[in-house]
Amino acid sequence: MSENQRRPITARRVILLLVVLAVLLVPIPTFHTPHSRDVVIDASQFEYSPPRLNINRGDTVNVTLNASDVVHGFFLDGYEIDSRVEPGISQKFTFTADRSGKFRYRCSVACGPLHPFMIGELVVGPNEPVWRASALAVVAAAAVLLGARKRRMA
Amino acid sequence: MKTMSRESPTDEKRFDVLGRMPRLRRMVLSRAFQPVLMLLLLAPFALAVTAGLLGTSAGNRNFGIVFVWIVWWALLMVLLVPGLGRFWCTVCPIPAPGEWIQRRGIIGGVAKLRTLGLRWPRRLRNMWLQNAGFLMLALFSTIILTRPSVSAAVIVGLTGTAVGMSLLFEKRTFCKYVCPIGGFIGLYSMVAPVELRVRDAQVCVDHRSKDCITGNENGYGCPWMVYPGKLDRNLDCGFCTECLKTCTMDNVVVNLRRPGTDLGKPVRGKRIDEAFKALIMLTCSIIYPAVLFGPWATVKAWAGIESLGGWLIYAAGFLAVTLVVMPGLFWLAVSRGQKRSCSGLTIRQAFNEYAHALIPLGLASWIAFSVGFALTNGSYALAAISDPLGWGWNLFGTREAGWTPYLSSTAPGIQAVILLCGLIFSVRTSLRVGFRHDPSGATTMQATSPVAVFLLACTLALLWLYLG
Amino acid sequence: MTGKMGNRAALVVLVLVLAGIPASIVGYQYWLRPALADHRVVDIAALVPENGGFSPDLIRVGVGETITLRFAADDVAHGIAIGPGLDIDLGQIDPGHVGEVTLTPDSPGVYTYYCNTWCSPNHWRMRGILEVVDPTAAGAVGAPPDPIIEALIAASVDIDAKPQLAEGISPDRPNGEQKLETVEVPPGLLDPTWRLSHTPAEGLVALQAQNPEVADDVLTDVTAYLWSEPTPTVEIKELFAKNCAACHGELGAGDGPAATSTLETPVAFADVAWFRRGDIWYAKIRRGGMGTDMPNFGTLFTIEETRLLVDYLWSLSFGES
């Protein structure tokens, strides 16, 4: 490959790098004032109700956790909150949703065969990770396609 | 990237592993190499089956579930297949009893085989049975993954089938054409950076006695019914190392290579079975996280066979998506690309060839799935090793080790990176196929971009399942 | 390693692995382990009653004999306890775990081991009997008579009669405490035994007779205060939470998570308190409610615990929480 051919590739790479950095780092503005929210979560074999919780970043979440059939647990990914709840005795805890993204809550007390898959989702919005990752996927696919336009691959 | 743009893949650098590591070479060349590894693996295998049949029905405290579906599965999908290709097939104990009966011995038994040695019917010499077997397991996977006794029954069933087939049919017919696990290991082993090949194919052509097929005093003829001289992709090779032992010309080597070298090569014959294997595996890797890790309890209950009606809905949906919807969408993508290309491929051929592009993303998707499951539930292994049957034993003092998800805040990020790598790898593979049929590159973009869009759509769906 | 020798060695290893591993597991668990123990070890499987409850559910042990009970939960978490006289609480045992206790009972009797964590709609059926027999004493051991229940039966009180509902009564307990000094309380109302066998409604009537000039709502408050007088202890609140709340609700409103699965809607204490006698509550707790899903707790709670529980029910009824 000659010097002439290498230059435009380098320029392209710089542009690609800038685009990737932009996708990863451009701040997403939010116009949300944090407030306190009360949430009741019911655990039963093998589901949580609600199965998916949407809250805004910065909110303070007051959780009341109930179990309706057998002993269950509640482990929140990312926030590492763990709680154990038995039917009739509710549990209360509070946390501040200071990280955006999706965090699964999972049963932490074996409760039957499907226990490992007893999962709910807390989405702290705006869900920056998924948007950035998706944009990155589009950029990656486009970059490989366009970058290969004149390259012999096989 | 650099190697790709500057060198043609055929003369790519390869690293002869055994040539540089004489001690390893001596081990591999010993006839005891594979049997000893199998025997070693038979111990946890026997423990897993015993625990599954007799131990607690709480899967998370049963060695038979924890060490099969968390530890082994994660090792297989995250390390062994992407790193060493078919190496699991080298050590897998499932065909061992059958093979040793065939050979009337474990280490270098007699040459006369105790088997009917029937040949496998020509119509079945493809991956369709493996596809069907995998789909069968997949339909019941929610049960198999969570019920120790069912899990043990499946393992015993596979082993029994392997023994039965060893008595009837020649060599590793079970592994090559029936084993539902061997099917996807073979498919994804094409990504691995390790291969067993001949140094110089001409040496094989000129070699009269073909010991690699007939076997000799140093080893058996290829149990996988492969002629090493024509071996050009990992899918066909069971990595049993016999040809390394039997080759009198020192022509068989184990290479380190650039990952994915087997992908995008010309597909011989009508291998729509392999294309479907790739589609089924990719589709399952999307359905699994949705069903098992998703918040939709109804679907989970269907998959868990809480009612027959629910399961039938699930099974119908599952099969429709894996066998009709996804293949249909992929067909549309390929045919749309071919309409605007001058490759001269029929859509059928193009379908089979471009299916290779699904392999890296499919593997990445399985790695992401397995990483998530292993990080979340890997801590169960500590307790299960001390109390394998949930009987209150405490062999290593770790019985009370609790359930602790590892890296729960970084796991989604790790999964996203894995998926993005898979996407890039897959799009590049589709381009490699495209360029091979269109050396000028004039219409490659047109032919490939619909496939790339299909791959991107799958990736976005996965990203939303894991992060969204 | 090649040749006959290696082959034979491999065969030995194969047999050791395939037969030896299962054999040593079973041999250790069912033969060696009991053989090594210097006293009897009983393995008890703990499953929800739908799947068999406790098995075995009857264990006989001699007075002075040392025995180890190993409870293995297999399906969901169970709380394992042994009732009055032995007073053992092993806490919750999660599936796949084993909880064990070694004891040497020194007095003959019938003790109940039971699940004290809600585990299924039939949770309360999950019980077993530990019978401690004295080989020297003849005759079966019977439960000692319960004076309060005997008295009810002697007075022909229908323990299972449907309670009258007291609608719209929400007395102000703190107000009752303040006003206590200003009213004249008949001696009966100050006697816990009298209160136990009378309804608050009857108490109110007695108060009204003594204090005709005082407003009814003040007397209502005072009655409520008197009936719920002893401040419930933490232990008794816990007893209620563990054994009663799943049906009757955390605050006794009849709205526990299992309330929908019972034959009749569980009693909300505030609704029936005004026309309910404490000894009937006592009897219901100890012997269960006939024709309802109210289980009997007579073998699980001591008489004293039951009395305190009844007091706590009044507190729940009259707004103490």
**Which of C21, C98, C100 shows the shortest C-beta gap to B47?**
C21
C226 and C111 in a single domain? The answer is no
The whole domain housing C204 covers 147-317
CA distances B402 to C54, C190, C320, Å, are 25, 53, 38
Which value, to the nearest 10 degrees, does the dihedral of the CA atoms of residues B250, B252, B256, B258 take?
130
pLDDT of residue A149: 60
**Which of B35, B50, B392 shows the shortest C-beta gap to C22?**
B50
Residues of A in Cβ contact (< 8 Å) with C252:
none
**Which of B301, B423, B468 shows the shortest C-beta gap to A141?**
B423
Among B192, B170, B203, B5, which Cα is nearest to B81's? B192
Over chain B, what is the mean pLDDT?
91
Do the chains contact at B435 and A99, CB–CB below 8 Å? no
C-alpha radius of gyration, chain B, whole number? 23
C313 and C212 in a single domain? The answer is yes
A41 in any annotated domain: yes
Do the chains contact at C258 and A66, CB–CB below 8 Å? no
CATH number of the domain residue A82 falls in: 2.60.40.420
Residue B200, both tokens: 């110089």
CB contact, 8 Å: C32 with chain B?
Answer: no
Structural domain ending residue among the three candidates B223, B256, B289: B256
pLDDT class for B114, splitting at 50, 70, 90? low
C34 in any annotated domain: no
Residues B451, B430: contact at Cβ < 8 Å?
Answer: yes
Instruction: Count CB neighbours of C253 within 10 A.
Output: 16
pLDDT of residue A97: 94
C211 and C73 in a single domain? The answer is no
B120 and B239 in a single domain? The answer is yes
Under 8 Å CB pairs connecting chains A and C tally to 63
pLDDT of residue A3: 44
B4 in any annotated domain: no
B53 in any annotated domain: yes
Average pLDDT over residues B219-233: 92
pLDDT class for A137, splitting at 50, 70, 90? very high
Structural domain ending residue among the three candidates B188, B223, B256: B256
B198 and B68 in a single domain? The answer is yes
Residues A149, A139: Cα–Cα separation, whole Å: 15
A152 in any annotated domain: no
B269 in any annotated domain: no
- Give residue-wise pLDDT tens across range B182-211: 999 999 999 999 999 999 999 999 998 889
C255 and C109 in a single domain? The answer is no
**Which of A88, A109, A112 shows the shortest C-beta gap to C246?**
A88
C115 and C61 in a single domain? The answer is yes
Among C87, C93, C134, which Cα is nearest to C113's? C87
C186 and C296 in a single domain? The answer is yes
Q: How far is C299 from chain B (nearest CA, A)?
A: 29
Q: How far is C75 from chain B (nearest CA, A)?
A: 6
C205 and C236 in a single domain? The answer is yes
**Which of B50, B57, B108 shows the shortest C-beta gap to C2?**
B108
Strand partners, C58: C129
C278 in any annotated domain: yes
**Which of A48, A104, A114 shows the shortest C-beta gap to B304?**
A114
Do the chains contact at A117 and B9, CB–CB below 8 Å? no
The whole domain housing B327 covers 274-467
C201 and C269 in a single domain? The answer is yes
C286 in any annotated domain: yes
Residues of A in Cβ contact (< 8 Å) with B61:
110
- Kindly state the percentage of chain C with pLDDT values over 90: 40
Do the chains contact at B32 and C75, CB–CB below 8 Å? no
Do the chains contact at A88 and C119, CB–CB below 8 Å? no
pLDDT of residue A9: 63
A147 in any annotated domain: no
Residues B168, B185: contact at Cβ < 8 Å?
Answer: no
Residues of B in Cβ contact (< 8 Å) with A13:
none
pLDDT class for B67, splitting at 50, 70, 90? very high
Residue B3 has pLDDT above 70, yes or no: no
C139 in any annotated domain: no
Residues of B in Cβ contact (< 8 Å) with A80:
408-409
For an interface test with C, which of B61, B110, B163 has the most C Cβ atoms less than 10 Å from its Cβ? B61
Residue B95 has pLDDT above 80, yes or no: yes
- Report DSSP letters for C124-153, one per residue: GG-EEEEEEE-TTS-S---PPP-HHHHHHH
B247 and B304 in a single domain? The answer is no
Residues of C in Cβ contact (< 8 Å) with B156:
none
Chain C 75-94, residues with CB within 8 Å of chain B CB atoms:
75, 94
Q: SS3 of A103, please? A: strand
A78 in any annotated domain: yes
Do the chains contact at B391 and C100, CB–CB below 8 Å? no
B261 in any annotated domain: no
Residue B370, both tokens: 């397995």
Q: How far is B297 from chain C (nearest CA, A)?
A: 19
Structural domain ending residue among the three candidates C64, C99, C133: C133
B133 in any annotated domain: yes
CA distances C5 to A101, B43, B246, C10, C20, Å, are 62, 21, 21, 9, 21
Do the chains contact at C118 and A111, CB–CB below 8 Å? no
C111 and C164 in a single domain? The answer is no
For an interface test with C, which of B56, B63, B389 has the most C Cβ atoms less than 10 Å from its Cβ? B56
Chain B 241-300, residues with CB within 8 Å of chain A CB atoms:
264, 292-297, 300
pLDDT of residue C1: 43
pLDDT of residue B8: 40
B355 in any annotated domain: yes
B50 and B138 in a single domain? The answer is yes
Residues of C in Cβ contact (< 8 Å) with B46:
17-18, 21-22
Do the chains contact at C77 and A89, CB–CB below 8 Å? no
Average pLDDT over residues B119-125: 90
CB contact, 8 Å: B428 with chain A?
Answer: yes
Q: How far is B106 from chain C (nearest CA, A)?
A: 6
C-alpha radius of gyration, chain A, whole number? 23
pLDDT of residue C124: 86
Among C182, A152, C24, which Cα is nearest to B439's? A152
- Kindly state the percentage of chain A with pLDDT values over 70: 90
Residues of B in Cβ contact (< 8 Å) with C1:
30-32, 36, 107
User: Using CB atoms, which chains have 3+ pairs under 8 A with B?
Assistant: A, C
Residues B298, B291: Cα–Cα separation, whole Å: 9
Residues of B in Cβ contact (< 8 Å) with C44:
none
For chain A, the domain total comes to 1
B3 in any annotated domain: no
CB contact, 8 Å: C245 with chain A?
Answer: yes
pLDDT of residue B9: 44
A115 in any annotated domain: yes
Average pLDDT over residues B329-347: 88
pLDDT of residue C139: 59
For chain B, the domain total comes to 2
Which value, to the nearest 10 degrees, does the dihedral of the CA atoms of residues B125, B129, B131, B134 take?
-140
For an interface test with B, which of C1, C4, C5, C7 has the most B Cβ atoms less than 10 Å from its Cβ? C7
Q: Which residue of B has its CA nearest to A101?
A: B467
Q: Any idea what DSSP says for residue A86? A: B
Residues B341, B447: contact at Cβ < 8 Å?
Answer: yes
The whole domain housing A82 covers 36-130
Q: How far is C50 from chain A (nearest CA, A)?
A: 14
User: Using CB atoms, which chains have 3+ pairs under 8 A with C?
Assistant: A, B
pLDDT of residue C293: 85
Average pLDDT over residues C242-253: 90
B278 and B252 in a single domain? The answer is no
Residue C80 has pLDDT above 60, yes or no: yes
Considering only residues C9 and C145, tell me which one the structure prediction assigns the higher pLDDT. C9
B1 in any annotated domain: no
C118 in any annotated domain: yes
pLDDT of residue B301: 93
pLDDT class for B17, splitting at 50, 70, 90? very high
pLDDT of residue B110: 58
For chain C, the domain total comes to 2
- Give residue-wise pLDDT tens across range B313-331: 999 999 999 999 999 999 9
Do the chains contact at C21 and B43, CB–CB below 8 Å? yes
**Which of C92, C95, C245 shows the shortest C-beta gap to A88?**
C245
**Which of A99, A140, A149 shows the shortest C-beta gap to B420?**
A140
CB contact, 8 Å: C25 with chain B?
Answer: yes
Residues of A in Cβ contact (< 8 Å) with B460:
134, 137
- Report DSSP letters for B195-240, one per residue: EEEES-HHHHHH-SS-HHHHEETTEES-TT---GGG--SGGG----
Average pLDDT over residues A82-98: 94
Q: How far is B440 from chain C (nearest CA, A)?
A: 56
Residue C213 has pLDDT above 80, yes or no: yes
Considering only residues B186 and C207, tell me which one the structure prediction assigns the higher pLDDT. B186
Q: Which residue of C has its CA nearest to A68?
A: C257
Residues of B in Cβ contact (< 8 Å) with C73:
58
pLDDT of residue B75: 96
C16 in any annotated domain: no
CATH number of the domain residue C55 falls in: 2.60.40.420
- Give residue-wise pLDDT tens across range C81-133: 998 889 899 999 999 999 999 999 998 888 999 999 999 988 988 999 999 98
Structural domain ending residue among the three candidates B228, B256, B284: B256
A25 in any annotated domain: no
Q: Which residue of B has its CA nearest to A138?
A: B456
B229 and B314 in a single domain? The answer is no
- Kindly state the percentage of chain B with pLDDT values over 90: 80
C201 in any annotated domain: yes
Residues of A in Cβ contact (< 8 Å) with B445:
145, 149
Residues C57, C128: contact at Cβ < 8 Å?
Answer: yes
A116 in any annotated domain: yes
- Give residue-wise pLDDT tens across range B348-390: 989 999 999 999 999 999 999 999 999 999 999 999 999 999 9
